[in-house]
Amino acid sequence: MEKANKLIDGEQSDALLQQKDGQPNEELDEFKERFVQINKLAEIGQLTAGILHEIQNPLNFINNFSRLSVDLVGEIKEILEKKQGQPLTEDEQEDLLFLLNKLEGVNTKVGENGGRIGRIIQSMLAQTRSENKTVQFEPVDLNQLLEEFTKLAYQGIRGEDRSFNVSFLFQLDPAVGLVKLAATEISRVVLNLVNNACYAINEKRKLALEGYTPQLAVSAVRLTDLIEIKIRDNGMGIPDAVKEKIFTLFFTTKPVGKGSGLGLALSRDIVTVMHKGHLSVVSEPGNFTEFTIQLPLNL
C-alpha cells in the first residue's frame, strides 16, 4: 500500500495536475476517484494495528468479567444448595442480594465492552464500503465517536512507531449528546486530523527538546445552533505560507509515502459541503495547531 501511495502522490499526480487544463474533465475526475480509493485503503491498512489494540482491551474485559460471572453464579448456587428449600436468614438474603447486584453490574460491563467492539467493527466495515452508496445521516453519539476514532488513529501511528506516545486531554461536553450526521464521513475527518496531529507531535518529539511533553486535546461543546469540535496538538505547528495551502487538493509537506495531500481537502469537503459546516485552522509555528469543526444542528 505504501508503494501505491508513492506512485500516486509523487510524479504521477504532479504530471497529471500540470496537464489538467488540456485534459477532459472526465479523465481528471476518474483520477481523483481512483486516488481517493487508494488513499482510503491505505488509511484502513494503517489503522489495522489500532483496531486490533482497541478491540483487545474490551475483549480482555469481557473474558475477565465472564470468569467473574461464573464465580458469582457459583457462590449464589452454594448459598441456595446449603438451604435445601429452607427459608433464607436475613444475612443470607443480604448476601444473595449483594451477589445478584454484583452479577448484574458485571454483565452490564460485558454488554458495554461488547458494544464497543461492535461499534469499532461496524465503523471500519462502513469505511470499506463503496463511495457510491448513499450517505446516511442519523443520530450519533458524537463524543463516543470522537474518543474512539482519536484512539484508533493514535494506535495506528503507534503500530508504525512503538516509541511514539502522547497524552490525551478529552473535554467532551455531555450536553453534546446525539447529533445527526454521516458518522462514517465524520469519523474519516477525525482520523485525518488526528493522524496529522500525531505526525506533527512525533516530528517535534524527535527533536528531543528539553521538557517537551506530547499532548493532544480533543473537545466538543454544544452551542445554540451548532456543535463545535476542536482538535489541538502541541507539535511542530504550521508556517503561514503553508497554512494557506493545506486544504488544497494534493498539497502536502510530508515526505513521499507519508502524505497524499488528500486528507485535509476531503475533510474540508465532508464538513463544509456534505454537512454544511465550517472547518478552520489556527497555528503557531513551533508551538501548536488547532483545527475547529463546526457542525450545524439543523441538518
Q: Is residue 101 part of a domain?
A: no
Question: Which of 33-37, 88-92, 181-185, 259-263 has the largest mean confidence?
Answer: 181-185
Q: Give a yes or no: residue 232 inside a domain.
A: yes
Residue 161's pLDDT band, with cuts at 50, 70 and 90, is confident
Residue 100 lies in a domain: no
258-295: per-residue pLDDT in tens? 544 467 888 898 899 899 999 999 999 999 999 999 99
Q: How remote is the C-alpha of 161 from its chain's centroid? A: 18
Model pLDDT, residue 6: 41
**Has residue 19 been placed in a domain?**
yes
Domain-embedded: residue 258: yes
Residue 220 host element (H or E): strand 215-222
pLDDT band at 133; cut points 50, 70, 90: low
Helix axes 90-128, 25-83, angle to 10 degrees: 170
The answer to whether position 243 is within a domain reads yes
* pLDDT-wise least confident of 79-88, 133-142, 232-241, 263-272: 79-88
What are the phi and psi torsion angles at 282 (to 5°)? -125, 145
Where is 42: in which H helix or E strand? helix 25-83
- In a domain, residue 194? The reply is yes
Checking if the pLDDT of 23 tops 60, the result is no
Q: What's the domain range around 141? A: 2-58+122-296
Q: How many domains does the chain have?
A: 1
Computed over its alpha carbons, how large is the radius of gyration of the chain?
A: 24
**115 lies in some domain:** no
Q: Quick one: average pLDDT of 97-104?
A: 87
Identify which of 131-140, 186-195, 248-257 has the greatest average pLDDT.
Answer: 186-195
**How high is the pLDDT of residue 141?**
94
User: In whole angstroms, what is the distance from residue 262 CA to residue 32 CA?
Assistant: 10
Q: What is the CATH number of the domain that holds 177?
A: 3.30.565.10
